[in-house]
C-alpha cells in the first residue's frame, strides 16, 4: 500500500456524497478498496458488494451461500449499486425502458470495481439485466480476496470428502457481521425502515433466494412479504430499485439457462 493510495482513498471517502434527484435518500460514497476502505462498521466507507459477501458467508463453515449459478448476477447487482453511488453509471427510464448509461468514465478508486467497470465503460447503453452479469463475472472471488487483504476475512483450505481442496473463509470480526445481520433482520421482521445499507442487501438477498440466511425458516414467509414491499418504498431512487430488479431478473434468467442446460445434457 502506498502513501498516495491512502491519501486518495481517504479523501474520497471523507468528502463525497451522492444524492439522487427526486429521492429522499443520500448514499455515502461506496468504495471497497481492500487496502483502505472497509465495510461500514469496519471502517469509514460502505460497500454494498462487501456487505453482500460477508453476510452470505456462513460463520461456522466459512462457505459462501451464493451458488455458482446466481453469483455473477447478484454480485454484479451489488457492484452496479456501488457504481451508481459513485456517480459512474445511471439508469434513466423506468421498468423495461431503463438502460444503464455511463455518465462518468473516470477510473474508480478500487481495483475490483474498476476491473468490473472497465468491461462496460465504453459500451453503449445496455439493459440492466445484461449489465449486471458482465459486472459480476468473477467478482465474487475477487471480493473475497479483497476482504482477506483488508483483514475482514481469513482464507483457509479444506478438503471435501477428504480429497477435493476447497477454499473457505473465517470471519475475523464476527461481531460486526452480527451487527449488520441484526440491522437487516430488524428491517425484515421488526418493522424498521430500510435505509441505504439494509435496503439493497435485502433486495439482493431476495434476488438470490437467500433471505433465510438472515431470518431462518421460521421468519421466512414474513421476510419475503416485507422484502417485496421494500421495492415500493421511498428509501431509494428509481435507479437503485431498477438495479436491484436487474439483479433479480438476471438471476432468474441464469437459473433457467442452467436448468435447461442440465436437462439437455442429461
Return the pLDDT at 231. 67
Over the stretch 14-66, which tens digit does the pLDDT of each residue have?
323 332 222 222 233 333 333 324 333 344 345 899 999 999 999 999 999 99
How far is the CA of 194 from the CAs of 50, 53, 78, 251, in angstroms? 18, 19, 16, 23
Of 82, 80, 75, 81, which is closest to residue 140 (Cα–Cα)? 75
CB 137 within 8 A of CB 77: no
Burial profile 112-123: b = 16 or more Cβ within 10 angstroms, e = fewer: bbebbbeebbee
Contacts of 209 (CB under 8 A, 6+ apart): 70
Q: How confident is the model at residue 201 (pLDDT cuts 50, 70, 90)?
A: very high
Asked whether the whole model's pTM tops 0.85, one would answer no
CB 41 within 8 A of CB 176: yes
Name all domains of the chain by residue range, CATH numbers in brackets. Answer: 8-253 (1.10.3630.10)
Return the pLDDT at 216. 92
Q: Which residue has the higher pLDDT, 259 or 154?
A: 154
Over the stretch 109-168, which tens digit does the pLDDT of each residue have?
878 889 999 999 999 999 888 898 899 999 999 999 999 998 999 999 988 777 788 899
Return the pLDDT at 21. 28
Q: Which residue has the higher pLDDT, 231 or 73?
A: 73
- Rounded Cα–Cα distance for residues 87 and 108 (Å): 10
Provide the β-strand partners of residue 165.
159
**Confidence check: pLDDT of 266 > 80:** no
Over the stretch 202-243, which tens digit does the pLDDT of each residue have?
989 988 889 999 999 999 999 999 998 886 666 667 777 777
Amino acid at each position: 500500500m502506498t502513501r498516495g493510495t491512502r491519501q486518495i482513498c481517504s479523501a474520497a471517502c471523507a468528502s463525497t456524497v451522492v444524492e439522487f434527484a427526486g429521492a429522499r435518500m443520500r448514499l455515502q460514497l461506496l468504495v471497497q478498496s481492500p487496502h483502505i476502505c472497509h465495510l461500514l462498521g469496519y471502517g469509514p466507507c460502505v460497500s454494498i458488494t462487501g456487505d453482500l459477501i460477508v453476510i452470505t458467508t456462513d460463520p461456522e463453515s466459512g462457505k459462501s451461500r451464493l451458488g455458482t449459478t446466481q453469483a455473477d448476477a447478484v454480485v454484479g447487482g451489488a457492484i452496479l449499486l456501488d457504481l451508481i453511488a459513485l456517480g459512474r453509471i445511471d439508469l434513466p427510464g423506468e421498468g423495461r425502458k431503463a438502460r444503464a448509461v455511463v455518465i462518468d468514465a473516470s477510473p474508480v478508486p478500487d481495483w475490483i470495481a474498476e476491473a468490473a467497470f472497465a468491461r462496460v465503460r465504453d459500451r453503449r447503453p445496455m439493459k440492466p439485466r445484461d449489465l449486471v452479469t458482465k459486472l459480476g463475472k468473477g467478482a465474487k472471488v475477487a471480493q473475497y480476496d479483497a476482504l482477506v487483504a483488508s483483514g475482514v476475512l481469513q482464507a483457509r483450505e479444506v478438503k471435501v470428502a477428504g480429497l477435493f481442496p476447497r477454499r473457505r473463509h473465517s470471519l475475523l470480526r464476527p461481531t460486526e457481521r452480527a451487527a449488520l445481520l441484526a440491522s437487516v433482520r430488524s428491517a425484515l421482521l421488526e418493522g424498521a425502515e430500510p435505509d441505504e445499507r439494509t435496503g439493497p442487501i435485502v433486495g439482493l438477498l431476495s434476488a438470490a433466494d437467500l433471505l433465510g440466511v438472515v431470518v431462518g425458516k421460521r421468519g421466512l414467509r414474513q421476510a419475503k412479504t416485507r422484502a417485496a414491499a421494500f421495492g415500493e418504498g421511498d428509501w431509494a431512487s428509481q435507479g437503485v430499485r431498477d438495479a436491484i430488479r436487474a439483479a433479480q431478473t438476471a438471476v432468474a434468467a441464469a437459473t433457467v439457462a442452467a436448468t435447461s442446460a442440465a436437462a439437455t445434457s442429461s
